[in-house]
Amino acid sequence: MALIPALQFLKLNEIPEAWVEAMWDVEFTESKPLDDSIKEELTATGDKAFRNLYQCLLAHADDQQQSPGRDQASQSIWALLVENGVSVKSLVATLSFFVLVGKAKVANVQQRVDGLHAASLYLLLLGIPGSIANKVLHEVLLDTCLDMTSHCWPQDSGKKRKKDNLKSSQAEGKRSRPHRKDNPEMEVDEEEEEEEELHFSGQDLMKIRDAVVLLVQSILRLLQTFPLKKTPQIASNCNQIFSKLLYFEPAIGELTFAAGQDLNTLRSVPEMAFYGLQLLYSPKHGDQRESLPRVFHQLLYVILMMNKGKRGKPTLFVPNQAILTTRNQAIQFVCHIVDELKELALPFLQILLQHICFQMVEKSEFRTHGAQAVGMLTCQMASTDYACFVKWLFNFSRHSKMVCRLFSVDVVMVLLEQPERRMEDCEDPELACFLPHKFLIQSLLFARRMDHSPTVQGHAFSCLAQCLELSSFNATQAVHNLFSTTGTVTMLGGETTEESSQQTQKTYRTLPFRTVEISSTDSSGCDAKENLALLLRRVQDSKTNVRKASLQALKGLLKHDVIPISWENLAVLSERCRDPAVSVKKKALQCVGELLAAKPECSVIQKAWLQGVVPAVVDSENSVQEKALEALDQILLSQVKLYSASRHLDASQRLTWDLLGLLCNECQSLSRYFSRAFTIWSKQNKFTQAFITNLISHTDADHAAGAWLLLSKVVASSPRLPYSKILDAWDNMVSSKDVNVLTCCHILCVMGDIAAHLNEDTKNRIVNDLTSWLKTFTLSLEVISAAVQTLYQLGSSEDIKETQAFLNQHCGELVSVCEAYLASIMLSENGAQNLNEELMVKHLHTLGVASLHCPARVGKRTVLLVESVLTTHSDKLTDCQQELPASLPLSQFKANSLPTRVRAHGVITLGKLCLQHQELVQKYLPVFARELEVGTEVTVRNNVVVIMCDLCVRYTSTVDHYIPNISACLSDTEGTIREQTLIMLTNLLQEEFVKWKGSLFFRFMLALVDPVPAIASLCEYCLLHLLLKKNPEMLYQHFIECIFHFNSYSKHKSYNKFPQSEREKVLFSLKGAQHREKRFRIYRFLLEHFTDAQRFNITIKINQTVLACFADEDLPLDADGAEILSETFNILSLKEMKLQAISAPAGGTSSEEPEEENMARAVLQAAQKKVVSQVQKKAFIENTVPLIISLKSLLEQKHSPVLRDLMAYLQVTMEDYRNEVKEFFSGDEQLAAELEFALKTAEKDRDLEEQMDNFSLAGDAKTPTAQGSVLGSPVRSRPLVPFSFATPQPLRPTPLSARLAHTEKRVHVRSTQEKHIKSKSIALERTVMPKGAVKDRAISTPKGVTVNLTFDEGVSAIFSDQGTSLGRETSVLHVKSPEQQQQATGLRQWNVQSPLRQKKKSTKV
């Protein structure tokens, strides 16, 4: 036969028998030295000889399978080898030689190919019946041959393995570092060798690939004929090998998983690997309840896109297209298994889903793909099994790990995209309530709104907004129910039982607006108002991602009309466009843009869009500016098309002109920001001739106001304009009697901008029109200002003298007209009685704006006429030599009968006259200051503040003496004046026209506690965002003086010594117990915005300037001194005084596992905390302790009540050093003893409070159901309802009876828990595995038993990460079902059990 000649190339007769025995003795773990000549002959063998031998053996194997006499056929092949003197033992040893050489890292291409061929021959030989009897089977060699693909394929054995080794060396820590340092040359050499291994040509790779295909086909043939029932370890290894081969190369075409496929039809390695996995879970290789978990376990990491080695944590793949394709194929394969095996596979599908959820990582891309996988796999479930999974997911969503709760939200979103299942399809009525989409939204998704983690909170809100985009009506309706205004309680699964209502009475605190969850801690229904209130609070959350997600949710609710489109709701979106965080600003801009696109006809949304986008043009962040400019360009500029009366405007154009109409009316205050946008666009040459032509075509339309608004902004930067069209509009406006004020202003602005391009005749005509128009005094105040400005632009020229002559002529003429009118009113006896208030205001306003351009035409008579508007000293007008007494306020002159509005405008006009004449400033400043003190008219005083601040810009040194008078208005009785003063002073401080001198800082501090919250908030903004940036030490420098100033204490030699009037002292004093809260609000604000260095230094400074003064008796310890000292101790006790480096927690929150990148930060924080703590401790011992001891002695002598505050301060301070009290106060043993006693007493009080809390909350926590939630779930409680005991308590129980009651309660709980554990727990056994035991764990479930899952340990048991090596003992988890669980229903768990366990038990028997 051809078999024997085909074996000749192996030189079996020349192989020494001693070498063969040596190879068997070492169990093929290493290659023994072979004679050089024989070795050369063997290595010279080519591929052809191996393939020839393989074909011969394959022919014999096929003949044997087709032969009816199986025993006879088997004897023939083995007998043939014996007859020809071929030793099977030598044949196996020789094949192992090729295998061991080929698997080496330094093997070349030919050695790898020969090794793969030899492994294929061994597996083929092993598959022939009789192989075990002829001692062909050797487990170690079989494992080696099966795993040859990972050793011989260069990608795995080279580059990737090198990276894996680097990772493992990093994980080992410091031990590996010395080795690298000691042998640098050796390591370089190894790296060079490994780099050489990686260089394979395409032809070489094709050779190895063909050999790998042959080996995989041999493995499949072995599995078709060789049962693995008694060798579960081999089956486990095969699972791992096939799972790795899934990534070997891209699959060709669409994969089909039909049973009984022909090996020759399988075209790619992944296709063969899937077929191998099919064979492994077939009944031929053992109980499918044991083989299926092994297959699912390997596919778990394929679906998770993780690389799971034999030991250690799995590593993540880069999710490229190849990895994603393999993952999708694995999911399809799992679906095929479930379709094929039906009920047999469903319990393991549940477990697979659980582990996908539990082993998910935090990275967004992996979570997205993982949730999609869960969704695809749940489609294979019947409604009952699906409900079981949702119930498990409900528990999973309350896990302590943040990533688990985060992923549960992703899974919910995928499940919501599936068609809703009918409750009637569920066989178990108790599980039917888990099927509706309503349960997923209200009990799983919306419940995460109160999560501890901001990441989970934000993700939940984002997904809530996405729910409204789903096609499912019930899903969107569930969201509507959460925010509907009906206020009805919505519950799933029936009414509240009596038991649950009794449990509610034990509630210690309640969480509002629960919709579906009804448990022992909460039974409140769906309160739409509170839900919306919560969402609006989350929009202002301290965490950036929560604010962004809340904005998205709010946008969704508004977009889909879930909540009313009111200005209150929309204003929240607009305000967030000015958020401190750049990403939130961009998100808010996006949200208002999407709302406008969805509802372009809604005027309220249009207004909100303008209020949000237009101010963002001046944002400090360039990217936000660009986003706002892009939105304005897209919606406003790009939609300006050529107008035709015969053609209707489309929706986009109507929106553009609606927005421009709002800018002309309701949103005029945005004009300054809007102008800034055009300044930027003009530099970009955005305004083409076509745009101007299109824009001017709209000036005759119904929306002409908007067109003139745009034209007034772009005309200054436009190259050419159709002046005739603009002049026609001017003529029409002048001749028209009914012109819109704002449109008129815009036309005047356009006329002023084009003045330089007009000829002299046209200019003169327009000047005459303007002056005659102004002299009619029928224009509004805004038009008068615009007209005078246009008049100035028409007269402007390069010659300054010529320009001034023009202004003196025309503006002076206006001044003369106004002066004559004022004289006719003020000098006539009955002028004031027949006064036209509106006409008087217009003359005063015209006089003011015109006088600014022609100061030379303003005479003393004009000034006195304006002054007479405020007084009735008309006799002074006839004798101008006599001046009015400057010391008298306006209100103390002889009262006149002019209205307040006229007097207010008179103040403004007088201020404009002062701007041009310094002697008037010196004369009227005392009058203005006095008016601020005793004036009664709000508008007059408000205008006086504006005038004095404007004068401060031009005459800084003169007005500087009156800054205390201005700042006194921060405590005015009128909120309008306080706000105006705050804004004006902030502007002056920003531009450094005013310095922080005297009492100015402390008056700003008083605005922090203003009774009007808006003013207090404005003051905080001004201090933190405008003023503190210019002077970072501002708050620190004034802190100690705040203590003395607000307590009106002036006995210190350095502090609170600036001059103040008695009136000002009373106005700005916060002395007394009634103002204590205000004082400490100020102290806390200051301390919160200190740096740690400033906190440390202020403590030392307080010791030196306050405590030391009292200790040395420089300051008397009288009633006022006692108050100061008491307040100082209270300030030192504030938590804001503690250094953040010490008090801030290191790392993440308790509910979140710190990521690797956060670990370094946590270590750094811990080291920093230790160093800072030591420095603080040293400073406290050296500086504070001696003062404290001295003060305590002094206070005891004086019998002062401040002693109580001193001890309270020490108690707070020594909490961090409770074990070092004696060391700190070694100089005063009595103080140390008293302090130790106080600390122990405080600790006992805290323990008692905790015990009482536990006592009120004690109770059996039920397993969460559709109507229940976990008591200890990571849900953040809201401080909306004050904490109170709901359970009636005895009046004052004795300590003994209270302890007994608590003990009885604890015993009751423990006994209940023991019963619960007996019925639902999982027993764990320890199994010792001898040599040859399993390396990795199989997954199985107790036969015939379903385990009701609890979530104490996360999920069902899978197997340990620690692998086992041969000859080493290890412990294996084994899930054993108690007898009490025989009737239990629920999900099954992974059973981790040694595959050799049964064999071990049988040997013991």
Q: What is the DSSP string of 1250-1269?
A: HHHHHHHH-SPPPPP-TT--
Both tokens of 19, joined, read 């070498």
Question: Phi and psi at residue 1323, in whole multiples of 5°?
Answer: -80, 145
Pull the structure tokens for residue 1257: 């909350």
Q: What are phi and psi of 1070, to 5 degrees?
A: -120, 30
Given a contact cutoff of 8 angstroms between Cβ atoms, the answer to whether 1239 and 1211 are in contact is yes
pLDDT in tens, 1347-1397: 333 333 344 444 333 333 333 333 333 333 333 333 333 444 444 343 434
Sort 104 into a burial class: Cβ within 10 Å, 0-12 / 13-18 / 19+: middle
Give the tokens for residue 1167: 């080291």
CA distance 120 to 217: 8
Assign 1376 to helix, strand or coil.
strand
Residues of the chain whose pLDDT is less than 50?
1, 68-75, 156-197, 486-526, 872-895, 1146-1157, 1256-1405
Which residues share a beta bridge with 1340? 1391
Assigned token pair, 354: 């659980």
81: left (phi over 0), alpha (psi -120 to 50) or beta: alpha
In this structure, what token pair is assigned to residue 853? 């351009």
CA nearest neighbour of 1086 among 1027, 1136, 1158: 1136
Its sign, for the CA torsion 1165, 1168, 1170, 1172, is negative
What pLDDT was estimated at residue 166?
37
Quote the radius of gyration of the chain (alpha carbons, Å). 44
The whole-angstrom separation of Cα 443 and Cα 434 is 10
Cα–Cα dist 388/393, whole Å: 9
Give bridge partners of residue 1323 from the DSSP assignment.
Answer: 1376
Q: 1158: exposed, middle or buried (C-beta count within 10 Å: 0-12, 13-18, 19+)?
A: middle
Backbone CA torsion sign across 1287, 1288, 1292, 1294: negative
| Sign of the CA dihedral running 1203, 1208, 1213, 1219 | positive
**Cβ-based neighbours of 1084, under 8 Å, separated by 6 or more:** 1134, 1136
CA 1215 to chain centre: 34
| Sequence-distant (≥ 6) Cβ neighbours of residue 1386 within 8 angstroms | 388, 1346, 1347, 1348, 1349
Handedness of CA 157, 158, 161, 166 (dihedral sign): positive
Other CB atoms within 10 A of residue 1272 CB = 10
| Strands 315-316 vs 306-307: parallel, antiparallel or unpaired | antiparallel
Q: From the centroid of its chain, how far is CA 431?
A: 35
- Which residues make Cβ contacts (< 8 Å) with residue 437, sequence separation at least 6? 416, 420, 472, 474, 475, 478
- Residue 774: burial class (beta carbons within 10 Å; 0-12, 13-18, 19+): buried
Residue 260 backbone class (left: φ over 0; alpha: ψ -120 to 50; beta: rest):
left
* Euclidean distance between CA atoms 1178 and 796, whole angstroms: 72
Asked if 1092 and 1144 touch (Cβ cutoff 8 Å), the reply is: no
Q: How far apart are CA 741 and CA 1147, in angstroms?
A: 61
Half-sphere exposure (CA, 13 Å, Cβ side) for 1167? Answer: 5
* Strand pairing report for 1323-1324 and 1375-1376: antiparallel
Q: Is 597 exposed, middle or buried (0-12, 13-18, 19+ CB in 10 A)?
A: middle
Entry field: residues in the chain: 1405
**In angstroms, rounded to a whole number, what is the distance separating the alpha carbons of residues 340 and 319?**
30
Q: 3-state secondary structure string, 310-370?
A: CCCCCEECCCCHHHHHHHHHHHHHHHHHHHHHHHHCHHHHHHHHHHHHHCCCCCHHHHHHH
Separation of alpha carbons 1236 and 1214, rounded Å: 9
- pTM of the full predicted structure? 0.70
**Average pLDDT taken over every residue of the chain:** 76
Confidence (pLDDT) at 974: 92
Three-class SS state of 29: coil
Q: Are 1025 and 1019 in contact (CB under 8 A)?
A: no
Distance (Å, rounded) from C-alpha 394 to C-alpha 625?
A: 44
CA distance 1373 to 1356: 11
Please report the pLDDT score of residue 1333 as a whole number: 37
Question: Residue 628 corresponds to which amino acid?
Answer: A
The structure tokens 């810009």 sit at 953
Compute the distance between CA of residue 781 and CA of residue 843 in angstroms, rounded to an integer.
Answer: 10
Burial of 882 (C-beta count, 10 Å sphere; 0-12/13-18/19+): exposed
pLDDT at 1158: 54
Long-range contacts formed by 668-675: CB under 8 A, 24+ apart: 668/742, 670/610, 670/611, 670/614, 670/615, 673/614, 673/615, 673/617, 673/618, 674/614, 674/617, 674/713, 675/713
Can you tell me which residue has the tokens 């508004």?
558
Separation between Cα atoms, residue 969 and residue 977, nearest integer Å? 7
Can you tell me the distance from the alpha carbon of 371 to that of 412, in angstroms, rounded to the nearest whole number?
8
CA distance 37 to 20: 16
Give the torsion sign (CA, 1248, 1249, 1251, 1255). positive
CB atoms within 10 A of CB 415: 22
DSSP code at position 1340: B
Q: Residue 1022: what residue type? A: C
Q: Is-contact 516 1264, C-beta < 8 A?
A: no
Name the strand (E) or helix (H) holding 465.
helix 454-467
Tokens representing 473 are 């009506």
Q: 1275 in helix, strand or coil?
A: strand
